[in-house]
Amino acid sequence: MRIDVVTIFPEYLEPLNVSLVGKARAAGRLDVRVHDLRDWAHDRHNTVDDTPYGGGPGMVMMTGPWGEALDDTLADGYEAGAGRPALVVPTPSGRPFTQQLAGELAERPWLVFAPARYEGIDTRVTDEYRTRLPVYEVSIGDYVLAGGEAAVLVVTEAVARLLPGVLGNAASYRDDSFAPGAMADLLEGPVYTKPPTWRGRGIPEVLLSGHHGKIARWRRDEALRRTVAHRPDLIRRCDPAAFDKRDREMLSILGWMPGPDGRFGPSPHVMEE
């Protein structure tokens, strides 16, 4: 996969040299190129932003430098035979970035990231490139960052670990929280490693039992427990057919029961508390 990032802070993308993404690059599975947007600015001050039409606070990134930067970057990739590109624009007003979208992006041969600073990029830039290639405007969460660079790191890491041969153990992402179909979309429960006792704290007996069925059940119970506590919306969203008899018992212990439509929600006496 080829990844281009156009940014006014190339040094912000340094983390792409380390850990999983760095190794994928070194192994030749990922070709990452970071470009300085100011290389496409034309005045003495390398200006890339201007005041917003209609007034208001902050600055808006200008069409000129972005248009030239993206044209040159795309031309270079096409020449190198990078395949069909997709443009990824991180913005708090984008669609939520999910594991499913990470999987979709991982199928593509070439991603071009356009992270913005200030109040964002003049909308005509995305409008223009949408006529030529798929454009994904994505938000990594309901909070506002100072710029899209951190979101580029997040998206790149989530995508890179799905590329063939990048993760040592292909099974490791099948059980991920949010992996399609995994654990019926529950969060992963707690994990333990050696030593068996630390500061007086042991580990759940069942994990030492060697009984795979019981261990799987325990993990599922803990996943249900954690999901109810941290992401009750995921339980409500679950197709009730994904819950077996033991799941239902566990949910009942946690104070959740099926409503009129069969979907699970907190039982009324729990909600009153």
Q: What is the CA radius of gyration of the chain?
A: 23
Residues forming the active site: 92, 119, 161, 176
AA letter at 106 = A
What's the CA angle centered on 230, arms 224 and 236, to 5 degrees?
60
Q: Per the annotation, does 22 bind a ligand?
A: no
Q: Which of residues 118-177 bind ligand ADE (CB under 6 A)?
A: 139-141, 143-145, 148, 151
Q: What CA–CA distances, in Å, run from 32 to 27, 62, 153, 176? A: 12, 25, 12, 26
Contacts of 71 (CB under 8 A, 6+ apart): none
Please choose, out of 69-77, 89-97, 163-171, 227-235, the segment that lies near ligand ADE by the rule CB under 6 A. Answer: 89-97
The DSSP symbol for 90 reads E
What does the alpha-carbon distance between residue 124 and residue 197 come to, in Å, rounded to a whole number? 60
Which of residues 101 and 145 has its CB atom nearest to ligand ADE in the complex?
Answer: 145
Q: Which of 4, 6, 65, 91 binds ligand ADE (CB under 6 A)?
A: 91
Q: Where do we find the tokens 């819950």?
A: 243
Q: Does 179 bind ligand ADE (CB under 6 A)?
A: no
Which of residues 60 and 183 has its CB atom nearest to ligand ADE in the complex?
Answer: 60
Which of residues 61 and 235 has its CB atom nearest to ligand ADE in the complex?
Answer: 61
Q: Per the annotation, does 142 bind a ligand?
A: yes
Closest distance between ligand ADE and the C-beta of residue 141, in Å?
5
Q: Per the annotation, does 103 bind a ligand?
A: no
Closest distance between ligand ADE and the C-beta of residue 139, in Å?
4
Which of residues 92 and 259 has its CB atom nearest to ligand ADE in the complex?
Answer: 92
Contacts of range 50-57, beta carbons closer than 8 Å, 24 or more positions apart: 52/119, 56/119, 57/119
Q: In what order do the strands lie in the sheet with 110-113?
A: 31-36, 2-7, 110-113, 85-96, 135-139
Which of residues 159 and 254 has its CB atom nearest to ligand ADE in the complex?
Answer: 159
Q: Does 90 bind ligand ADE (CB under 6 A)?
A: yes
Q: 138, exposed or middle or buried, with CB in 10 Å at 0-12, 13-18, 19+? A: buried
User: Whose CB is nearest to ligand ADE?
Assistant: 90
Q: Per the annotation, does 76 bind a ligand?
A: no
Closest distance between ligand ADE and the C-beta of residue 252, in Å?
37
Q: Per the annotation, does 145 bind a ligand?
A: yes
Please choose, out of 5-13, 45-53, 88-96, 257-265, the segment that lies near ligand ADE by the rule CB under 6 A. Answer: 88-96
Q: Does 92 bind ligand ADE (CB under 6 A)?
A: yes
Query: Is there a contact between 9 and 119 (Cβ–Cβ < 8 Å)?
Result: no
Q: Per the annotation, does 140 bind a ligand?
A: yes
Q: What is the dihedral of CA 91, 93, 99, 102, to 10 degrees?
A: -40
* Binding-site positions for S-adenosyl-L-methionine: 140-145
Return binding residues. Answer: 140-145
The residues of the shown chain that bind ligand ADE, judged by CB under 6 A, are: 90-92, 139-141, 143-145, 148, 151
